[in-house]
Amino acid sequence: MASSLPTLPQALPSSLTKTSSSATFRSPFLIFSGSTSFIPSSISLTSRGTSSATIIPRAAAAESDSNEALANTTFHGLCYVLKDNIDTDQIIPAGAACTFPSNQQERDEIAAHALSGLPDFHKTRFVEPGENRSKYSIIIGGENFGCGSSREHAPVCLGAAGAKAIVAESYARIFFRNSVATGEVFPLESEVRVCEECKTGDTVTIELSDSGGLLTNHTTGKNYKLKSIGDAGPVIDAGGIFAYARMMGMIPSLA
Amino acid sequence: MAASSVISSSTFLCKSSSSKKDLGISSFPKSSQISIHRCQRKSIVSVMAPQKDRSPGTTGSVKTGMTMTEKILARASEKSLVVPGDNIWVNVDVLMTHDVCGPGAFGIFKREFGDKAKVWDPEKIVVIPDHYIFTADKRANRNVDIMREHCREQNIKYFYDITDLGNFKANPDYKGVCHVALAQEGHCRPGEVLLGTDSHTCTAGAFGQFATGIGNTDAGFVLGTGKILLKVPPTMRFILDGEMPSYLQAKDLILQIIGEISVAGATYKTMEFSGTTIESLSMEERMTLCNMVVEAGGKNGVIPPDATTLNYVENRTSVPFEPVYSDGNASFVADYRFDVSKLEPVVAKPHSPDNRALARECKDVKIDRVYIGSCTGGKTEDFMAAAKLFHAAGRKVKVPTFLVPATQKVWMDVYALPVPGSGGKTCAQIFEEAGCDTPASPSCGACLGGPADTYARLNEPQVCVSTTNRNFPGRMGHKEGQIYLASPYTAAASALTGHVADPREFLQ
């Protein structure tokens, strides 16, 4: 019976190899007086075997092999510029949301539809017809990026298509939360309206630091400060909500 | 040790709310810290002075008022006080998922907790197939089959299954649109925390509970643990007073509000609705109001429970619940007041829910079709309203008018309940006489487009007046489709004139 159910490949961010007692996190937003863990009943702590399946990639920088520090993370590439209120149906039309990325093939399928819901006046497509990867690794947006549905297909399709980070003026909360939870794309906030300052195809670099970050547009020569990731920092640092909860001792670590 | 952890009660008494940046030093809940009188230990571990019961009032400390949402989250996180900005672990009372997101959520649950893992509570999960049901799309059909397997394996108590796609009535368990089904089946209760893998989960806030939408990853986490990490939102208060005009509906109220504050006006915030108008609304109308909170960016919407709420809920569930209410000295981050008696029917023009306009100012807009359905505008009362207007008009529609009842129960009501003032006719009879399409199988239908063969999908760049919740480009299918969001009255009036129409043309 289990064979009829698609199984997700094991995602094993390297932060999980650390024991929770040695994990340091920069901002203790939660202080626990005891590590009470809540364990799903009948789960065997050693039931997780090794996986040879494809690992769902996390949005990590090229040189960083662990998610332990947001600082020292850099993204570099071409940017794709959008304006305000890009809703989830524009990011991934609802009809394409029947897939769920349980394997690489369906990830590729959903990637092919990334931002395909944009009206036709967007002459430059994020993903060219017939392809499933974008040449733009950084998306620049205006206000309320990702508004609309709670479907995780939105950040997932962007990540699957090769986007690494988004720099928007502001986000809709469910999309922001899903980006953090899945680790598919880093949702960063600018202090000014960078969507008016950059054009699709500009080469940009994003360097994150403890206090936020810097977006440099090499094509125009200008740079822009980015806001600190805020409360989501420790969750992203840890590698997502599951890794964070393991680090907190709230759910058992993988064997 | 236990005794000293009780004495250091700074997290319990006198929480200062002045430091807005303070994210809240929160002890992980241990039952011994919730209240002093529960700390009695049977064995003597140390000697200490007797603890008198020191409720905040007797110490002279200022009791910080909390809003309804803050209170619900405080209780659900086993804290006596939370303030906006606190990041807390919250116990979940109900987790809902459907056909589109359920497979992903369960997939993540298994990936993270193991193939043999069991869900935290098989009676607190409600699985409601509703999105892409009546379609030949194999992937969509597969999703329902996948959910059936998961529910069987996990012994999920509430799975509203459908196997015969050709005849929805042949499926006794099938309900339809998740948010309406949750209410109808008694899963919405005041004071609780309800999460769903759908943005319109906020609908349930009409019952005075914390209800919000989450993604698959968060849902996978909740499946295994029954908890979620949440940041306490500040509350915006909307006080609606005045007698509701006979041509106005809750849909007009929420479109009015979203037009006021914009699609990001309530981002990360609670929208709390109160006032004499709210008190006069039925539960279904309250659901319509809270349903579109997400269209303003809101985290959750909430309405104080009253006799109307209790009457609805107590007829549908025997699970005990405890309502909460905002304190008189609670802090609200914004206050809006509306005199409802002065409001007029409104629409949201393409392509944004905040693109508000008076219906009467759009009467030159020629339309191609009308759609009445969805969690927002496909409930029994929505169809009753449309039927009432059609009956009062006594005419036929000028454009194709699609009717998609939200659930099986709504469908049955459309065919069984008499419409007041019509001499005993049912909605279905009135719709037929007006020339509408036959009411379709209950589901989310074309609200979100869906697979190409979805009934009433916008497959051409047409103009549609719809009782649904979003009108971003491509929402109902075609990217160049133009969607005017409206109340059932306005939708029915528009069907009769072939243009966007103010319902007062037929109801006065």
Instruction: Look up the domain containing A158 and give its range.
Output: 40-247
pLDDT range class, residue A144, cuts 50, 70, 90: very high
Tokens 């969509």 correspond to: B140
CB contact under 8 A, B221 and A97: no
ipTM of the complex: 0.83
Q: Count helices and strands (H / E) in chain B.
A: 16, 17
Tokens representing residue B355 in the block: 């693109």
Does a structural domain hold residue A107?
Answer: yes
Show residues of chain A in contact with B152, CB under 8 Å.
1
A74: distance to nearest CA of chain B, Å? Answer: 25
Does a structural domain hold residue A6?
Answer: no
Number of domains, chain A: 1
How far, in Å, CA of B125 to CA of B127, rounded? 6
Residues 2-21 of A with CB under 8 A from B: 2, 4-11
Q: What percent of chain A has pLDDT over 90?
A: 53
Whole-angstrom distance between the N-terminal and C-terminal Cα of chain A? 25
Q: Does domain B94-229 have CATH number 3.30.499.10?
A: yes
Does a structural domain hold residue A7?
Answer: no
| pLDDT at position B37 | 39
The better pLDDT of the pair B311, A4 is held by: B311
Digit-coded pLDDT (tens) for B258-306: 999 999 999 999 999 999 999 999 999 999 999 999 999 999 999 999 9
pLDDT at A58 over 70: no
CB contact under 8 A, A251 and B216: no
Does a structural domain hold residue A62?
Answer: yes
pLDDT at A12 over 70: no
- Measuring CA to CA, how many Å separate B104 from each of A214, B66, B68, B221, B453? 35, 36, 32, 12, 23
* Mean pLDDT (whole number) for A182-200: 94
* Mean pLDDT (whole number) for A117-127: 94
A46 interfaces chain B, CB cutoff of 8 Å: no
Show residues of chain A in contact with B26, CB under 8 Å.
30-31
How far, in Å, CA of A231 to CA of A176, rounded? 12
A42 interfaces chain B, CB cutoff of 8 Å: yes
Considering only the beta carbons, identify the residue of B111, B214, B225 that sits closest to A40.
B225
Rounded to the nearest integer, the mean pLDDT of chain A is 76
- Mutant choice from A39, A55, A152 vs B, greatest count of B C-beta within 10 A: A152
| pLDDT at position B311 | 98
Tokens representing residue A151 in the block: 């479907």
How far, in Å, CA of B370 to CA of A189, rounded? 39
Does a structural domain hold residue A69?
Answer: yes
Contact between residue B376 and residue B476 where contact means Cβ atoms under 8 Å apart: no
CB contact under 8 A, A251 and B231: no
Q: Find the CATH number of the domain harbouring A220.
A: 3.20.19.10
Show residues of chain A in contact with B23, CB under 8 Å.
29, 231
CB contact under 8 A, A31 and B89: no
A33: distance to nearest CA of chain B, Å? Answer: 6
A121 interfaces chain B, CB cutoff of 8 Å: no
- Mutant choice from A26, A150, A241 vs B, greatest count of B C-beta within 10 A: A150
CB contact under 8 A, B116 and A44: yes
| pLDDT at position B239 | 98
Show residues of chain B in contact with A181, CB under 8 Å.
215, 217-218, 221
- The CATH fold assigned to B346-507 is Aconitase; domain 3 (3.30.499)
A119 interfaces chain B, CB cutoff of 8 Å: yes
> Residue ranges of the alpha helices (H) in A17-142?
88-91, 104-112
Does a structural domain hold residue A151?
Answer: yes
A146: distance to nearest CA of chain B, Å? Answer: 10
CB contact under 8 A, A7 and B475: no
Nearest residue in chain A measured CA to CA from B269: A173
Digit-coded pLDDT (tens) for A82-98: 999 999 999 998 877 77
Segments in chain B below pLDDT 70: 1-62
Per-residue burial over A55-91, b if 16 or more Cβ lie within 10 Å, else e, is: ebebbbbeeeeebbebeebbbbbebbbbebbbbbbbb
Same topology, domains B94-229 and B346-507? Answer is yes
Domain ranges of chain B: 94-229, 346-507
| pLDDT at position A42 | 33
